[in-house]
Amino acid sequence: MSLDVNVTPGVKCIDGCPTPSGGGSPDIIPIVVGCALAILVVVVLVAYLINRRRSQAHGYLSIDEDAEKSQDTKIASGGLRNYKVFEDFDSPVILDIDEERRLLEENPEYLQEMQKRERGDRFFGMNLSRGETGVFDIEELIQVLQNENASNIVTIAVPREFRYVDYMVIVTGRSNKHLFVMAEYVRKLFKMKRSESDKIPKIEGLGWGATKNPSSPAEWLALDLGNIALHLFLEPVREKYDLETLWSVGKEFDDLCNMKEDDYISLLKKHTWSSLEDLVPLDESSTEENKNLG
């Protein structure tokens, strides 16, 4: 078998004799393999990025649940429980000019809502519709008081035979001003939610001065909300009057109701004469006789 080798006259082979005609260069194979691997890596990376963008657009990310749990454990163990983890779905949406103009055309109330949110309207997002059991449903009032940083909230169901209210709510405030702010906020929200037949409540209570302003040394404020009686106390005054015991176990087991009367008060009652004690109501029969005589 003969080999056809073409050698140019006057040229010396550096790396030995030329390869036989019809055979490919052995150095091209690694290059082709490397290019194929590079293209494959690029395709996989592009597919991953596209999938990630789609997941973000739908509000979730494809994250391994075990990895997510371990991350939450690390955050909790690191003492970061008081910090909020920001996510895409609860982040504010910033619109450009065209999008905002189009949204205003579709929803005219959007501008008013944004203005309220920007100036920090305390009533923004509140339910201004009247409740089912009254102006306030008990669950709604509790949520309002929690938002106003009321502490030690107690709810007592009042028996129907008392014909008073359905619930009594007792809370504690930090200061005189805090009591006033909570009471005034509940009253304003009541006015927004009420119907024409609902009477606007008055702010009443112990230490409530004639000026009725936050500087008055109010220690105990109360509002009659129709179906709910709301009491707002400072901590020492709340412990002193202890309405929880009175309305939960009754006066028979209330220490304040069963306290022994002061000796001086007993003495005054014993030696005090009232002109009304000897008066006896007229019988119905005698009343009818007087009418007939007249």
CA of residue 174 relative to chain centroid, distance: 20
**CA distances in angstroms from 16 to 3, 23, 273, listed in the order given:** 15, 16, 142
Q: Which range, of 57-71, 89-103, 159-173, 249-263, averages the lowest pLDDT?
A: 57-71
High-pLDDT (> 70) share of the chain, % = 51
Specify the CATH class of 138-268 in words.
Answer: alpha beta
Residue 202 tokens, joined: 């008055």
Residue 290 tokens, joined: 């007087």
* CB neighbour list of residue 199: distance below 8 Å, 6 or more residues apart: 226
On the question of pLDDT at 210 being above 50, the answer is no
Task: State the distance between the two ends of the chain, measured CA to CA, in whole angstroms.
Answer: 160
Mean pLDDT of 224-228: 92
Residue 128 tokens, joined: 């201004």
Angle CA(219)–CA(225)–CA(230) in degrees, nearest 5? 30
**CA distances in angstroms from 280 to 276, 277, 287, listed in the order given:** 9, 8, 13
pLDDT per residue as tens digits for the range 31-75: 888 888 888 888 888 888 887 777 665 554 444 444 555 555 544
The dihedrals phi and psi of 276, each to the nearest 5 degrees, come to -85, -15
Q: What's the rounded Cα separation, in Å, for the pair 88 and 69?
A: 18
Q: What was the pLDDT predicted at 80? A: 47
pLDDT band at 145 (very low <50, low <70, confident <90, very high): very high
pLDDT band at 124 (very low <50, low <70, confident <90, very high): low
Amino acid identity for residue 44 in this structure:
V
Q: What's the rounded Cα separation, in Å, for the pair 177 and 291?
A: 60
The domain limits of the chain are: 90-121, 138-268
- Is 226 within 8 Å of 167 (Cβ atoms)? no
Strand bridging mode 228-234 / 167-173: parallel
What is the sign, positive or negative, of the torsion defined by CA atoms of 52, 58, 63, 64?
A: negative
